[in-house]
């Protein structure tokens, strides 16, 4: 398919116009016009770009792209080398941040819930980014942590009583510990996100609400994979997800 067709489809599917975000969503670096092969990944690091070039990709789709609010706009250093590599190899880079977190089917939150067997009941927070729900069946905090560990292949940091019954959960992938205070007000038993801050430990202990930090990268691997598979099925494109290991 043509680049503009893919761009229009993605922008409409993910409803990018309704989001206030920290970066531009959509086509960030323009490459060749015809697209047959796509590589997806979490972050547009040099390792991912080089792997995509080796795979003869025409386009790369990521969750974490470039041009973040407040960063130096100059194309120098690491950012300059990354973008130069894309331009030299005529590869398109598409990046979708909050729109990919929020999408009700393909989004990071929806895909994490699918992996962990969580049932969504409501949304909350700015732009409805965080999710309320429940496990398919009640379990203890330690059982939930074990399920996360086996599913994401990364042991989560767990704050709370391992024997605590978990019936009502809130979650938000990535660095969403700032939503913990709002989640506490919603009568939950546990909150799942990617990262944890120093003060969050004390808040979890004093509130009695369990906190599970399952990894920023680990919790956000699945939305971009689902998006790539959607494109492969919808348009007959070749798709490959490349996971560049990140312990955070």
Per residue in 148-184, pLDDT (tens digit) is: 999 999 999 999 999 999 999 999 999 999 999 999 9
User: Do 85 and 141 have their domain in common?
Assistant: no
Residues 119 and 194 in one domain: yes
Final residue belonging to a domain, choices 96, 127, 144: 96
The fraction of the chain above a pLDDT of 70, given in percent, is: 100
Residue 248 in any domain: the answer is no
Is the residue at 247 inside a domain?
no
Does any domain span residue 224?
no
User: What pLDDT shows up at residue 115?
Assistant: 97
DSSP per residue over 194-233, as a string? Answer: S---HHHHHHHHHHT-EEEE--HHHHTSHHHHHHHHHHHH
Which pLDDT value is given to residue 71? Answer: 94
Same domain, 28 and 78: yes
Nearest CA among 170, 168, 146, 150 for reference residue 158: 146
Q: Are residues 53 and 151 in the same domain?
A: no
Q: What is the structure's pLDDT at 39?
A: 98
In a domain, 170, yes or no: yes
**Pair (90, 125) in one structural domain:** no
pLDDT at 122: 97
Bin 61: left if φ > 0, else alpha if -120 < ψ < 50, else beta.
beta
> Across all residues in the chain, what is the average pLDDT?
97
Tokens 């330690």, residue located: 142
Please tell me the predicted confidence (pLDDT) of residue 214: 98
**Residues 112 and 194 placed together within one structural domain of the fold:** yes
- State if pTM tops 0.85: yes
Is residue 237 included in any domain, yes or no? no
Percent of the chain as helix, strand, coil, to the nearest 5: 40, 25, 35
Tell whether 158 is covered by a domain: yes
- Over range 136-149, report the average pLDDT: 97
CATH of the domain at 82: 3.40.1390.30
**Total number of domains constituting the chain:** 2
> Is 130 found in the same domain as 53?
no
Sign of CA pseudo-dihedral 174, 178, 179, 181: positive
pLDDT by residue (tens digit) across 50-91?
Answer: 999 999 999 999 999 999 999 999 999 999 999 999 999 999
Torsion of CA 208, 214, 219, 221, to 10 degrees: -170
Domain boundary among 61, 96, 131: 96
Do 164 and 196 belong together in one domain?
yes
Residue 245 falls inside a structural domain? no
Task: Specify the pLDDT at position 51.
Answer: 98
DSSP three-state, residue 146: helix
Mean pLDDT throughout 193-203?
A: 97
Mean pLDDT of 193-206: 98
* pLDDT for res 76: 97
Domain that holds residue 177: 108-216
pLDDT at 151: 98
129 and 187: one domain?
Answer: yes
Residues 68 and 113 in one domain: no
pLDDT at 166: 98
Q: Both 70 and 9 in a single domain?
A: yes
CA distance 209 to 185: 10
What pLDDT is recorded for position 106?
A: 98
Residue 223 domain flag: no
Residues 21-47, mean pLDDT to the nearest whole number: 98
Asked if residue 158 and residue 89 are part of one domain, the reply reads: no
């Amino acid at each position: 398919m043509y680049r503009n067709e893919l761009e229009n489809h993605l922008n409409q599917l993910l409803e990018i116009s309704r989001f206030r975000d920290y970066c531009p969503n959509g086509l960030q670096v323009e490459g060749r016009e015809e697209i047959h092969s796509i590589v997806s990944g979490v972050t547009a690091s040099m390792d991912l770009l080089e792997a995509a070039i080796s795979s003869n990709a025409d386009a790369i789709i990521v969750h974490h792209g470039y041009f973040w609010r407040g960063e130096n706009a100059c194309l120098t250093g690491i950012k300059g080398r990354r973008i130069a590599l894309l331009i030299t190899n005529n590869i398109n880079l598409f990046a979708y941040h909050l729109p990919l977190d929020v999408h009700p089917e393909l989004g990071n939150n929806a895909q994490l819930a699918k992996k962990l067997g969580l049932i969504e009941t409501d949304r909350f927070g700015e732009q409805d980014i965080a999710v309320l729900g429940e496990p398919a069946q009640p379990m203890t905090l330690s059982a939930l942590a074990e399920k996360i560990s086996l599913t994401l292949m990364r042991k989560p940091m767990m704050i709370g009583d391992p024997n605590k019954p978990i019936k009502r959960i809130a979650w938000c992938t990535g660095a969403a510990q700032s939503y913990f205070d709002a989640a506490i007000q919603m009568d939950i038993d546990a909150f799942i996100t990617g990262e944890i801050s120093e003060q969050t430990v004390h808040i979890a202990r004093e509130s009695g609400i369990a906190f599970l930090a399952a990894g920023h990268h680990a919790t956000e691997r699945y939305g971009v994979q689902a998006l790539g598979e959607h494109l492969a099925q919808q348009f007959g494109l070749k798709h490959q997800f490349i996971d560049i290991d990140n312990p955070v």
